[in-house]
Amino acid sequence: MNTHNLATTNLVENMQRARGHGELFVKRTGNQNRLERLYQEGCARLRMPNHNKTDPIEAVMINTSGGLTDNDHLSWKFSVEDHAQLTITSQACERIYKASRPLPALIDVDIKVGANGSFAWLPQETILFDQARLKRRINVDLSDKSEFLMVEPLMFGRPAMDEIVSSASLQDTWRIHQNDQLIHAENQKIDGNIDHILQRNTVTSGDLATAFILYIGPQAEAKFEKIKTQNDVNIGTSIWQLSDQKTHKLVVRMSAPTSYELRKSLIPIINILHGKNALPKVWHS
């Protein structure tokens, strides 16, 4: 290795990495949702807009580093006690930038929801740029009669900016447990020529914006019937009865050519699953 390449390698290895960890725990006191614990470290920040205390607490995740690249690490931990309600969103789209080394950016999320508690995970889009690498893990622990909504939108580049993701790596590992029983497992790995892979009919048929939606709760059947009428984009919807025979799991997968077109169909579905006027405020900004 010549001197120039050695200096470049040392510079990359010695670059400061983004590190962040945030925790938010909420509890129910009477008819009010209250903050029990707030912790933030590094580039992770949590902000809570003013709200009516009888409404679910709405918290906004902020990554002050402005995005993630190789070997950056962001972790979040959320806990909802019995009967409490919490909605989590992000200040902006999370950007995963080009990796300078064959190491992924890491995102870890741990969520715990108590009996009769309600939790909604509603981040804005994650944008995967060309040559980006991301490894994401989400673990959820639900109790009896918990209501859980998870929405994960993903963008491969930004078509409006003529960005093509010719190469990237994404690995998702999600595990959802209820009463210590596994009720949903999601493993997704996409690696290589993303532009070519997305063209396949079994993937997105060329669409660059995707969303995964999971709803677990007692009203899943009724919500399923309403969602079936949504057909503006490529969408697949399915429902399963869980072992307690009272709760159902609703899964929606959808894709669209652009983020704008995806949102046009995604927002009505969120309104069905989370209640009208319940879309996080930052989604309108």
Of 61, 55, 65, 81, residue with least CA distance to 18: 65
Dist. CA 245–CA 176, nearest whole Å: 17
Spatial contact of 246 and 217, defined as CB atoms under 8 Å apart: no
Paired residues of 111 in beta bridges: 78, 140
- pLDDT in the model for residue 55: 83
Which residue ranges in the chain fall short of pLDDT 70? Answer: 1-15, 231, 244-245, 276-277, 285
| Whole-structure pTM value | 0.91
Domain ranges for the chain: 18-276
Parallel/antiparallel/unpaired status of strands 105-113 and 126-128: unpaired
Express each pLDDT in 138-177 by its tens digit: 999 999 889 999 999 999 998 777 788 989 999 999 999 9
- pLDDT in the model for residue 13: 53
Dist. CA 15–CA 9, nearest whole Å: 10
